[in-house]
Amino acid sequence: MQVSCIPLAHTRQFSSLFQAFISGQENLKPLYGEFPDLVGFRKQIEQKKFDVKKRQTLVSVLEKQYAELDSKPDFRVLLDEKTFTVTSGHQLNIFTGPLYVIFKLVTAINLARRLKQEFPEYTFVPMYWMATEDHDFEEINHFRLSGKTHIWHTQQKGAVGRMNPKELATLFKEIPERLPLFEQAYLQHNTLADAVRYYIHELLGAEGLICIDADDRELKAEFRPVIEDDLFNHTAFKLVQEASEKLEALGYKQQVTPREINFFYLNEGIRERLVPDENGVRVNDTRLTFKQDKIQQLLDQSPEVFSPNVILRPVYQEVILPNLAYLGGPGELAYWLQLKPVFDHYQIPYPILMPRNFAMIISQATQRRIQNLSLTPEELFEDEATLRRQYVEKHAAYSLDIQPDLQQMLDALEAMRTKAVQVNPTLDGHIKAEAQKLRNWADRLDRRLVASEAQKQETGVRHLSELKAYLFPGGGLQERTDNFLNFYLANPAFISQLLDLFDPFCYEFYMLTEA
């Protein structure tokens, strides 16, 4: 693949908060720890100390979770105090979901490799945090392949990682492509978590990537002190509120809203919010209630039923992993910027926040169309109306720009107004109204001229619209909609090529043209 990069700002797809963060603006620095560069990683390595017992628990859990796989990583490396993880996570979207999920995992793998080159005395393990406890099924139940969206319909409820994926057998019947890897994953495993671990290991396990399912009793036991504090003291609620106010004072909107209790009650077929009750704690939208002594007893005996929400999931991650960095997209990193006081309170090192790689994949046929339309990479990101106008104006036989002529007319009208008000001040409003009518008339004329010229260039305009629809499905970035199989099926080396091309420290947008 041929590679070119453009600044993220030129795509107009990223929030001002995200761009301020990656540019290292001073006013944001109190909201995070180390900056995502090699200097920051050196400092982070020095800060991160991880308990031997926790390492042993982690290895034990991973060995259990990988037990049914024929080949598995050597988890013992995680017992070494000089081994650290770098983590990215996502929901368990069927068939991997949008393309950027693969981008996340590739970025994590490449970061681990790069850190090993820079700090050879340490070992770095890329981790995929599987969001197995998430219960928003509508977020994961579909994927887009060859222009068609395929949807998994089910009556199953609760944490998606516990769902049985064998229902996907009906979906395979409507997909024209043969997908043996995913058939084996979904039809030969009893939970979605096991299925995802299987295919991710097949795709990326050889690159050192390890999947972790944090829906585990032993791991939750490590998190028990934070759960207890949140249930009874609501510490995170107060701290995140304060951090959110600071973020808003800087002119940015908060991404997530803390709750008094930032845990769900997790059991078979249910994941519902825990909310304070006058007698203790109740499970939202159910009749389940727990008095204070009973909720304490539940925590002591069954910590696995407490599932952290978006506020405390990052803290849980850092409690159970010897982790240095979290890699994510703009929305994820935005809500992490509300959480640093929580980490400080629990004396847990705040991980480096690192953007994943961003990219658009362009086929040879699409590249030829781009060239035929004489478009630059930056122009591709213009909204379609603006791009269509620019194209029509560029290829018109005569100039469509009436603004200089309009300005002459407005200047003449302003000169008349200046003279008129000296004679009769009441004419001022009347002449200003006429000037506005003139602007409105010119605007209508401008639109008619462009529309008339667009009709003459109908073929080019149609090709332009088709190109935008293909590269920006639904008006959004390709990576947020299309599935990696759109490229992998025709090019089995696709993931390997991404591993070779992506630089985890390149905070730009990749334009990748297939050879």
**If we measure between CA atoms, which residue out of 468, 479, 356 comes closest to residue 98?**
479
Cβ atoms 363, 467 nearer than 8 A: no
- The CA distances from residue 406 to 121, 177, 410, 430, 450, in Å, are 69, 57, 6, 19, 16
Cβ atoms 80, 125 nearer than 8 A: no
Single pTM value for the model: 0.91
Over residues 254-275, the pLDDT tens digits come to 899 999 999 999 998 999 999 9
Terminal Cα distance for the chain, rounded: 5
H or E segment and range at residue 21? helix 16-22
Would you state the pLDDT for residue 240? Answer: 97
Cβ atoms 478, 511 nearer than 8 A: no
Question: The tokens 């850190």 sit on which residue?
Answer: 115
- Sites in the chain below the pLDDT cut of 70: none
DSSP character at residue 132: T
Q: Enumerate the domain spans of the chain.
A: 16-218+310-357, 225-306, 362-488
Would you state the pLDDT for residue 363? Answer: 93
Buried b (16+ CB within 10 A) or exposed e, 408-446: eeeeeeeeebeeeeeeeeeeeeebeeeeeeeeeebeeeb
Could you tell me what percent of the chain has a pLDDT over 70? 100
CATH architecture of the domain covering 16-218+310-357: 3-Layer(aba) Sandwich (3.40)
Dihedral, CA atoms, 203, 132, 140, 339, nearest 10 degrees?
A: -110
Over residues 273-308, the pLDDT tens digits come to 999 998 899 999 999 999 999 999 999 999 999 999
Q: Tell me the C-alpha distance between 319 and 348, whole Å.
A: 7
Would you state the pLDDT for residue 457? Answer: 76
Would you state the pLDDT for residue 139? Answer: 96
76 alpha carbon, distance to own chain's centre:
31
Joined tokens for residue 478: 């390709």
